[in-house]
Each structure stands twice: as C-alpha cells, then as structure tokens.
Structure 1
Amino acid sequence: MVVTVMMVGFLRWVSVVSLLAVVFLDGFIISSSYAAFTPVDNYLIACGSSQNVTVDGRVYVPDTQSSSLVLTDQGSSIVSSNFLAPSPIYQSARVFPRPTSFQFEIRQSGRHWVRLYFYPVPNSEYALNSTLLTVVTDDFVLLNNHSLKDQNRPYLFKEYLINVTSDHLSITFVPMNGSVSFVNGIEVVSVPDDLIVDQVPQVALSTPFVGIPTLALETVYRLNVGGPRIVPMNDTLGRTWENDQKFLYYNDSAKVESVDPSTISYGEVVSPEIAPNWVYATAEIMVNVDVANVIFNITWSLPVDPSFLYLIRLHFCDIISMALNQLVFDVYINSYSGIAGLDLSRQTNVLRRPYYADFVSNVSSGSPFINISIGPDTTIMDVSNATLNGLEIMKMSNDARSLEGSLSVRDIYSGAEKTKKKLTVIVAVVLGIVAAVLLVVLYYCCFAGPRSKRLRRAHSWLPLPLYGNSHTISKVSTISQKSGTASCISMANSNLGRTFTFQEIMEATNKFDDALLLGVGGFGKVYKGTLDDATNVAVKRGNPRSEQGLTEFQTEIQMLSKLRHRHLVSLIGYCDERSEMILVYEYMANGPLRSHLYGSDFPPLMWKQRLEICIGAARGLHYLHTGATQSIIHRDVKTTNILLDENFVAKVADFGLSKTGPALDQTHVSTAVKGSFGYLDPEYFRRQQLTEKSDVYSFGVVLMEVLCSRPALNPVLPREQVSIAEWAMMWQKKGLLSHIMDPYLSGKVNPASLKKFGETAEKCLAEQGVDRPTMGDVLWNLEYALQLQETSSLNDPDDNSTNHIADISVPHVHPFDNSMSMINGAHSVTDDDAEDLTTSAVFSQLVNPRGR
C-alpha cells in the first residue's frame, strides 16, 4: 500500500513537471492561439510609478500618464527597488491620506474585471503594513477594513467581476480611523457579456437563482485541476489558474491525466473565454477504479466566508475515454446532489470537447467550507470513474451590495465622515483636558497645597477600608474562587442562570467520560451530566478550535436567559472558568425527533404521538414569533432541532442561527442566507430577506418528514424524490398523500385528520411567504387534525403505549396564548428585553447528523 501511494505521488509530480515543460516550450504557440478576444476597455495601471512596468508580457502604464483616467487626489508616490517584491507591479505604490478616486472612462458597458494589487512598500514615512484597506466602487463595497496582517503572505491580490452600466467607473480608496490607504496596481478590463449567465441552478433547491448581472462577484478560487499554474499571458481573459492539489481532501484519492492541449476541440457553447485549453487538457481522475467499494469519491474542500452565497463553476472534458458513453458519474456540492449521472458524451457528442456547469450555493451547514465531490454513478455497474478539469468559486455580493462585511457604500462614506469629525472632537477634548489639568495644578500649587499642609498638622485622619467592608471582600473572594475567569457576567446580571464551577462540571460528567457523550455540534461535544441533586442535564463543552468564541458564548447566555417556555429547551447555567466555555441545558431523555422517525432502532411513533409532537414544536415557534416585543426567527427549524423529553414532550432547540425579527415598520430582515439545505425557504434563499414565514416553510418540511419517516433530502433516490418537500407536494396535489406516508401508519390514520395535516403542510410550503399561514394558524390546524384523529372510529391496539403523550396531563393552550413558564419561582423576562436579543452563533445542535 505504501509503495502504491509513493508511486501515485511520483507519477503526479512527473505529470506536473512534464506539463510545465510543455508550457515553456510551446509558450509562443499558446499565446498566439489565444489572441481571439480583444477587450474594448483595457486599463493596466502601475500606481505611483514614473515609468512603464511589464508583468507576464503585459505593460502597465503610470497612473498619471493615462488620458482616460482621472485621479481626484494624487496623494503621495512611493517607489522602492531595494526590496525583493513578488512582482514588478509591487515596486511602487500610491498613498492616500484622504478618500481618493480613480475614475476610468468606460467605452463598452457590461462586465469588467477589476483587479487590485497591494503590497506595503517599505518606507520611513508610512507604516503601510498596518493599514486597514477600504475600497468601494460607485455601487459596491469591495474591501472593508481589510487587514494585511490577516494574510498568510505579505501581498494581497483581489479580482472582481463588476457589471458597469454607465460611461465611467470610479474606484475609491477610503482611509479609515485616521490612517492612510494605498494601492500598487489596478486593472479594469472588459470581458464578454456571455461569460456569466443570468439564471443559475441552486444547490438543493428546485428554483434557479435569478439576477446575477446585478451583483458583483469576487474570485475566491480558480483551479486548474490536475495541471500546472496558468499565468495571465496564456489566458484570453488574463486570468491566473492555480494547481488544485493542496485542496484535495485526500491527496491519494486522485491521479493526474493529461493530453496534448491542441487536441481539445471547442464547440459552439464553450469558447476559450470560458477557460483555456490548458484547463481542459488536464484532469484529476480516480486512482483505482477497481476498488471493492465503488462509492469512492474525490473531494476538494475549500474554506470560504460562510456569510455569503457563491457562484460555483465546474469544468469538464472527457480526455480519458477511448470511445463515447464510457464515462458517467455523479457530482456533489456540499454533500448534496449537483448533477446525477453526468454523461459527458450526451452533452458534447464527441470526446475531448469542453463542458461546464454553474451552481449557486452557500457553505455546508455548520462548516465554513465548500466541498466539491465527484464519484461514479453506482446505478451503472460497468462505469466506475469520474473526472474534473477545472474549478472556479466566486463570492456573490450581499443585500448591502458588499463583498466584505454588511456595510453599504453609503455606510462607508458616512463612517469616514464620522471618523473625521470624531478626530476633530478628540483633539479638542484632549486640548481641553490638558488646559484643565494645568489649571488644577496651578490652583493646587498656589492655594490648596499650602492649606492642606496646615490641616494635616491640626487633625489626625483614620484610614478607610480599601475595598469596602469585610462582607463585600468575602463575597468578591468567593466569586473569584468559584470562577476565576469571567465571573463579571454573574456580577453584572443575576438573572443569567446558575454559575457552575469547572469542578462541578467535571463531577457531573465523570470527567467528560465518552460513555456519556450525547452528540457533537458546531460549538463542541455534548455530554449527559448529573448534578448533586440528581438532576440530569445536557452539558455542552466548547471546542477551542471552533469558529464560535467568547462573544457568542456570552450572547447565548443572555438570549436563552430571557426565553422560557414549556416547548423551548431551557438553559440552566454556564461555566466560564479556566478558559472553558460550557453551557448546561435541561436534559432531553428521548433525544431528537429525527431519531424516532428513521435511522435508529427506536419503535415507530403512533400518528397521535406525531401530531402532539408537531403541536408542541409549533407552540414553541409561535412563542418565538409572538411572545416578545420583537419577534425571534429561529432560522434552523428541522427534526434534529426538535428534542423530546422523557414524556415525549417536544421542545425546540438550537438557537445558534436565530435572528431578531423585523421591526414594526419593516417587512423583513435583510441578512445572509443561513440554515440547513432541504429546509431552507426558497424565497429567503433567493432574496436574502428573512421573515417569520421562513420558519413556517421549514416547519412544513418537518411535517412531511414526520408523515413519511424519511430525510428532507436523500441524494441516492431518483431525482424527483430527492427533496421531500417537492415529492410530497406532488402527491398532496393529487390527493394521494397516503401513498407515500410511513407504511407503519397504514390503516391507523383517520383520513380526515390526514387531509387536514396535508393541507396544513401544503400551505406552509407555499412558494411565496405571503401565501403561507402564521405559526398560530398552523398550530390551530394541527390541533384540529388531532381532534379529528381522536374522534376517529379507528381502534388502534397500540394507542395506549407506555410512552404515549396522551398519558400526560397537558392543559389545552390556545395558539395565541403567550404565557411564560416559571423557573425557580420567578417569571422570565420575555417582552421588553427581547428587543436586545442579537443573533447567536453558539447554540449548536445537540446531535449533529453528519451528511455524506
């Protein structure tokens, strides 16, 4: 096995070296073959330079010598040749002490590359390496307080694709916080209009993403899969393509395949402007197609900012088959089916002809990565290989028309103006304080000093306690001993739950015994614990390597301390001792609802049980939407976030993605899309506008999941059955929902109850939020479906099972009853304080079912 791996690595190295040699030998032929596209607008600017700069065969002119470029403020020019720069473009820079714009004349409207080069040129006047970069165009924020210190290399290169609709384009550099801004090089180059299409399929959703031309895009990754680095002179659009190897999840899962680039045959759909033939002439394929387990995928894992949507472009070309119809494979994006049974022969009709596919997606739930996988189509036994030639990932601007942060262009300018005014105020205040101090010193020296000396000779004062009385000292000392790191939380507010010592947590969980492990979430591991009074609890211990930190930990405590309801999982307390971040919740003995529907050995739930569980969850969500001054949107409603206690009472959990709802004068909250695929409101995904109706849609998916006892998404099923929402709606509209429900329920469900349940779910899954009911209406309809079931003439022999919810005495609650539960005899605050709730990123799911 070791020898095989070494051979694969050696062959990969030999292939890359060979390709590099061919690139250098045939450079002239390649560059000449790529001369088809000539951009109308082609600005290559060397900022701060006094002479032309040549990089990769392209000539950059000084920013003061272009007749079609206006610089509103020349600022300062820095030129240095006494350091080793990664490229000649970084030898000079233009520095701006105030907001300054480069205004380019645009002769052809449409999409343009905007490329920016930054390198802190060494000089004695400015500390450019500590500069925070903020760059905007007329409509979009490109960089917002971006620190060069956060880079893993000293220079910064950014590439954007912007649709310019006027006769000029302004790129403005905005110094922030009293600092300066700078830039080394700028490119503004037009590209073909058909490079990016308007409508693109959305991963895990049936509706396409519409309106891409109105957005700005930022290149995050552009990979030549299996091939060497391609420089701009070998690409018709001046792009750079990097090698993919460092992004392979398993380096030894793939091997390089290559052909002569001249054998690549472009058709009518794909041109060299989509990607050069060097991309299509190399590929990664499976190392061993004869493995016993044919489900053997190649995966690329690429870290991204999880708060944005991404345009993903995959490049394919069959360079490995000897004949047509020998290569059929599946493509997955974030574990969801992107293309099932991709047959390149059917798409191109010939071998070695390029093909590409676009998708819009966000990251995997709870993970800041985009994962691209390819694997053989397991339905075809004699085909067992897969290939990928190129990969591009571009970040899409958000509702604020920004590619970094949530501030708009107007917000950026407003912030810069406020900073300027603030600096003026600070200078005035400092001068005032200095003057006041001088006056006090003068007064003391002339009058108060001599008088105090006379008084000290006349009186003998007793010293006062330094820290207050002994009771105060004892109290502070006790608290410090119990929680040595951040007991200030409990001191500031005594209504945040119990503060546990780390020793108490260790004893409750038997030193975090793996035998007590309940699950793993994005925040960390969850253990079952037992307190001194024999109370069972769920203990969630933060993972230091988690993306979620102290701020979210404190916000989680503050949020959950204000939410108390019979159908919401309660926070009991926390521990912040010894740099630990630990949350303690009430223990839910029967775990997540999902485990009782499929994927486990639990006995199936009766129909009446399922209805009562759905009613309990609906009550919890209805309380979130209406029980406070400002509503709270859960944003991640799914069967793993509905937990069941020992009596099968349902409680909503995991508020990690929760968001305060819109104010009274607003209809929605504009925010980046977050949630779980399969449950996402398509309207929210498409418009990035969040409302309470987004929870209603997700709950509709839960209802269908409860009825059919199958996952919300199942990529292994036929295409029309992958999404339970689409599949169940198809049968509901036919009036044949009983055909797909859990076979265990056959003959045990009152048809009237099923009809009402199906109608309720159908309304929840309406395409437009305005057509969906409120959670109060959903709750009323589910209670009505339960009444229909209880009046049924069906006699279910299992209706009196020991774990049936009917055995519990639960008073009927009207859907609009917002009463609060009692915790330790005190009412929890849920109205006025609810306005202060903010999004929490800590309350990760107690059980995290890992996808494919």
Structure 2
Amino acid sequence: MPPKSLMVDKVSPAYTLKMLKNARYISETMKLGALGIAPYRTFVWEELKEATYNFNESNLIGEETHGQVYKGWLTDGTLVAIRSLKMKKRHSIQSYTHQLELISKLRHSHLVSAIGHCFECHKDDSTVSRIFLVFEYVPNGTLRKFVSEGHSGQKFTWTQRITAAIEVARGIQFLHTGMVPGAYSNHLKITDVLLDHDLHAKISKCNLPLLAENRRLDDGGVSSHGSKENCGSMLRYEEKNDVYDFGVILLEIIVGRMIVSENDVGISKDILLVSLSADDKARRSIVDPAVHKECSDDSLKTVIELCVRCLSDELSERPSVEDVIWNLQFAAQVQDSRHQDSNSNTGSPIQGTFE
C-alpha cells in the first residue's frame, strides 16, 4: 500500500472538489432519507412503463401544455408522480445535464421533491424527444381544499392554517437560498401547494427551465405586482414577487374563500387594512367563520398585518421571506399561549406587538 502522503499528492484538486460535493449530497440525501424521500436517480423506460401500467389512462392525473402527469408505483411500492415533458427542439442528452442537476436539488421537506428522470429519444439521431420527471406523490390534494373549499366538510383550524403558511414560506426560502442558482418569480398559487399524508404543505411548482410553466395567467390565477424601478436589484424584485404571491395565499387562508382575481385581492386587502384599526369583534367578522372564534386577536392581527405588507404595491414595503417566517412563528406562539391559558383558566393571552 502506498504511503498516505503519496496518495494525497496524486489526488487532483478537481477530484477533491467532486468528493466534497458528493459528501454534501450524501449528507443531504441521508437527511431526506429519514423523511422518507428516495435518493435521486436515473430511471429506465421499462421501469416507468411498468409503474404506470404502460401509461394507462386510468393513471392519468393531470394534463399540461407540454405533456401529462401520471401516478405510478415503483417496484419497491413507492407511489410517485411522473411528469411527461415533450421537447419542442431536438437536443442531445448532454444538453439537459445542467437543468436536470437543478431539478435533482429539489429536495426539501416543504417541496414536492424530485426522485429522478428518464429520457425517451428519437431513433434516428438519439436526440431527446421526451423527458420523464419522477416526483414523490403527495396524496391529500391542494391547500385550497382545506381552507376555502372544505375537505370532506372539514376545514383547517387557525393553528393548522398558520402552520401551513409557515411551511409554504420555508419552501419558498429554500427555493431562494437552498440551491444555486436559486429559483425566483415562481408564480405560486394556493393550488400549487399540496398536502402530504400528515397534512404538511409542499410546494409543487417552481421556476426552473424544465419546470417553468407558461407565464400567462391561468384560470383562477393572480399575477405578481410591482414595478422593477421600485427595486434596485433584479434578484430583490424577483424575491418580492414571490412574497406577493405568498400574500395572496395567506389572504385565502385568512378569509376562507377562493381568491381568483386581482380585483378580489384588492377588495379583500382593503378590508383587512380597515380591520386593523377596528375592534376585535369587527376584525373577526372578516375571518373564515370556521375559525373566527378560536383565533386570538393578537395572532389574527399579526397575520392580517403581515398579509397586508406582503400585498403592498411597493416592493420596498414587502417583507423578506425571513421576516414572513418570523412573524408567522410569533403568531403561532401567541395562539398557542392563548390555547394553553384557556385550558388552564389562569389568565389572558400573551400580548405582543408586530414589527
């Protein structure tokens, strides 16, 4: 066996960097493995064909502009969502390496995590005709079902709503800072937030090249607001777009009815703004009746004020994602204190201020 010093001398800097990257990837994979998320890998066509019963129509769960989404079962029993993307132009497999590397980084407890991919190629020149992207399957539908539509006649409690909002904000935070480059201007809607077996929120959409959807407004969509001139940095502009979209989601969480247009946003935001200078009773009258009795006024006022700031027309007035998370956590703590006090009958809720 060669001396240790000789072995180190023969390791190139590029190889050392690769080892460090792999170590970070293995560390992250181990963390996600504990959450039940399978390691990212390349699939072969036969695996996906078997998983979907030859892409049977009974397994079709969604239609998109450039393909379909199928539900499938891997051989180990893992339930997955397989997204088919038809490529408009002919490129080699190598051309997609960087984009797939970005997708492989979508691994977070509050994102619908990527599990792998598979290529379908043209027979004549081996260029890619279709890419299949495999994601974890999230079974409990959208957040909208639990806040404005009512799932099986039941809606989320106020505490559950704050928790879901925190989880969405943490997912956005990871998209911005947990991967390089970050994914900004993600055009998120409440229907892009899915709920897993334990009703934890997971974002199912982001602005990466292979995953970015048409920028046109979908039916029921609301556009991000703001002028680029109001913000010195394009990155900051894009971050604040996501904060605005989060504000629209938070608005629906508060009022408990579908928000489907900019007009809805404007009217509802004005009502929230007026409620901040009103009394407790008036403020509760605008909240979803399913939860208005249970939420503490301090918690409700904190969430309303945060929502109004997120929806500001001025980008500079919108909070950062970190501020969003901090204030939601404060609202959750105040609500929890109120709940504990009501159980023990020892006093009134903790008072707090919003900054």
> Which aligned pairs between 1:618-767 and structure 2 lie closer than 5 A?
618-628=169-179, 630-656=181-207, 677-683=221-227, 690-713=237-260, 723-735=263-275, 736-767=282-313
Correspondence 1:508 to 2:51? yes
Partner amino acid, structure 2, of 1:523: H
CA distance in 2, matches of 1:562, 1:709: 33
Indicate conservation of the 8 Å contact 1:636/1:675, yes or no: no
Structure 1 counterpart SS, 2:312? coil
Q: Which amino acid aligns with 2:136?
A: E
**Max Rg structure:** 1
Q: Which of the residues 115, 140, 146 maps onto 1:590?
A: 140
Over 3 Å counting, the alpha-carbon distance change for 1:616 and 1:557 in structure 2 is same
More strand by share: 1
Residue type at the aligned position of 1:512: F
Structure 1 unmatched runs, 5+ = 1-495, 660-671, 715-721, 798-852
Cα-to-partner distance string for 1:400-456 (whole Å, 9 max, x where unaligned): xxxxxxxxxxxxxxxxxxxxxxxxxxxxxxxxxxxxxxxxxxxxxxxxxxxxxxxxx
SS at match of 1:734: helix
Matched, 1:567 2:110: yes
Does the 8 Å contact 1:680/1:698 carry over to 2? yes
Seen in structure 2, the aligned counterparts of structure 1 residues 555 and 712 have a Cα distance that, compared at 3 Å, is farther
Structure 2 vs 1, CA of residues 529 and 628 (structure 1 numbering), >3 Å: closer, same or farther?
Answer: closer
Give per-residue Cα distances to partners, 1:255-295, cap 9 Å, x unaligned. xxxxxxxxxxxxxxxxxxxxxxxxxxxxxxxxxxxxxxxxx
Mapped to 1, the partners of 2:70 and 2:157 lie a distance apart of 29
Give the distance between the partners of 1:549 and 1:705, measured in 2 at CA.
Answer: 42
Matches of residues 179-328 of structure 1 in structure 2 within 5 Å?
none
Alpha-carbon RMSD across the aligned residues, in angstroms, is: 3.3
Q: What's the offset of the Cα at 1:723?
A: 2.8
CA deviation map 1:312-339 (0-9, x unaligned):
xxxxxxxxxxxxxxxxxxxxxxxxxxxx
How do 1:5-44 and structure 2 match up within 5 A?
none
Contact 2:103 2:114 in 1 (8 A): yes
Q: Find the aligned partners of 2:67 and 2:202 in 1 and give their Cα distance.
A: 21
Q: Is the 8 A contact 2:138 2:195 kept in 1?
A: yes
How far apart are the structure 2 equivalents of 1:771 and 1:522?
Answer: 35
CA distance in 2, matches of 1:728, 1:768: 17
Distance in 1 between the 2:187 and 2:254 partners?
20
When residues 712 and 644 of structure 1 are mapped into structure 2, their CA distance, relative to the original with a 3 A threshold, is: same
Q: Which residue of 1 is the match for residue 325 of structure 2?
A: 779
Alignment of 1:432-443 (within 5 A): none
The structure carrying a bigger helix percent of its residues is 2
| Amino acid across the alignment from 1:767 | D
Classify 1:509/1:673 alpha carbon distance in 2 versus 1 (closer, same or farther; 3 Å).
closer
CA distance in 1, matches of 2:130, 2:64: 16
Preserved CA contact (<8 Å) 2:142 2:195: yes
Higher relative contact order (CA 8 A, sep 6+): 2
Distance 1:785 1:527, change over 3 A: same
Once the two structures are TM-superposed, the CA of residue 629 in structure 1 deviates from its matched residue by 5.6
> Do 1:737 and 1:758's aligned partners in 2 also have CA atoms closer than 8 Å?
no
Kindly provide the CA deviation profile for residues 602-650 of structure 1, in whole angstroms up to 9, marking residues without a partner as x: 4311111111111011011112223346543142121122121111111
CA contact (8 A) 2:168 2:202 kept: yes
Measured after TM superposition, the shift of residue 599 of structure 1 is 4.7
Report the equivalent of 1:366.
none
Residues 537 and 710 (structure 1), Cα distance of their counterparts in 2 relative to 1, 3 Å cut: same
Superposition pairs of residues 474-623 of structure 1, within 5 angstroms: 497-543=40-86, 556-578=99-121, 579-599=129-149, 601-602=151-152, 603-623=154-174
What SS does the aligned partner of 1:575 have?
strand
Native 8 Å contact 2:44 2:118 kept in 1: yes
Aligned partner of 1:681: which letter?
A: H
Question: Could you report, residue by residue, the CA deviation over 1:112-159 in whole angstroms, capped at 9, with x for unpaired residues?
Answer: xxxxxxxxxxxxxxxxxxxxxxxxxxxxxxxxxxxxxxxxxxxxxxxx
Partners of 1:678 and 1:723 within 8 A in 2: no
State the alpha-carbon separation in 2 of the partners of residues 685 and 522 from structure 1: 32
Contact 2:148 2:252 in 1 (8 A): no
SS at match of 1:580: strand
Which letter does structure 2 place at the counterpart of 1:726?
Answer: G
SS of residue in 1 equivalent to 2:155: coil
Matches of 2:313 and 2:97 in 1, distance apart? Answer: 37
Letter of the 1:697 counterpart = Y
CA distance in 2, matches of 1:675, 1:686: 23
How much has 1:534 moved relative to structure 2? Answer: 0.6
CA–CA distance in structure 2, aligned partners of residues 605 and 682 of structure 1: 31
Task: Give distance in 1, aligned partners of 2:133 and 2:148.
Answer: 29
Structure 2: distance between partners of 1:635 and 1:540: 18
Is the 2:299–2:332 contact (alpha carbons within 8 Å) kept by the matching residues of 1? yes
Letter aligned with residue 175 of structure 2? L
Residues 592 and 641 of structure 1 are in contact (CA less than 8 Å); yes or no, is this contact kept in structure 2? yes
Query: Contact 1:498–1:574 (CA<8 Å) still a contact in 2?
Result: yes
* Superposition TM-score, scaled by structure 1 size: 0.31
Instruction: Note closer, same or farther for the CA distance 1:765–1:555 as it changes in structure 2 (3 Å cut).
Output: same
- Which AA in structure 1 matches 2:193? I
Deviation at 1:504, TM superposition (A): 1.0
- C-alpha distance 580-788 of structure 1, shift in aligned 2 (>3 A): same
The alpha-carbon distance between structure 1 residues 635 and 577, as it changes in their structure 2 partners (threshold 3 A), is: closer
Alignment-mate amino acid for residue 103 of structure 2: L
Whether the 8 Å contact between 1:637 and 1:695 is mirrored in structure 2 is: yes
Letter of the 1:643 counterpart: L
Is the CA contact (8 Å cut-off) linking 1:637 and 1:679 kept in structure 2? no
**Which blocks of at least 5 consecutive residues in structure 2 are unaligned?**
1-38, 122-128, 276-281, 344-355
Quick one: structure 1 residues 556 and 636, their matched pair in 2 at CA, closer, same or farther if it must change by over 3 Å? farther
- SS for the counterpart of 2:80 is strand
Query: SS of the residue aligned with 2:194?
Result: strand
In structure 2, the CA distance between the partners of 1:681 and 1:499, relative to structure 1 (3 Å rule), is same
Amino acid at match of 2:132: I
CA-CA distance at 1:567 after TM superposition: 1.5
The secondary structure found in structure 2 opposite 1:632 is coil
Q: Which amino acid aligns with 1:763?
A: R
Q: In structure 2, do the counterparts of structure 1 residues 543 and 724 end up closer, same or farther at CA, with 3 Å as the change threshold?
A: same
Q: Is the 8 A contact 1:633 1:658 kept in 2?
A: no
- Determine helix, strand or coil for the equivalent of 1:789: helix
Shift in Å at residue 792 of structure 1?
Answer: 1.6
Q: Distance in 2 between matches of 1:651 and 1:536?
A: 16
